[in-house]
Amino acid sequence: MNPEINSGQVIEPQWLAGLIGVIAPLIVRWITGANLSRRWKSLIAILVSSVIGFASSFLSGQFDTVSILQSIAIAFSISQVFYDQVFKDLFNKPTEL
96 C-beta neighbours (distance < 10 Å), count: 4
- Which tens digit of pLDDT belongs to each residue from 23-75? 888 888 888 776 778 888 889 889 999 998 999 889 888 888 998 999 999 99
Full-model pTM: 0.74
| b (16+ CB within 10 A) / e for 11-30 | ebbbebbbebbeebbebbbe
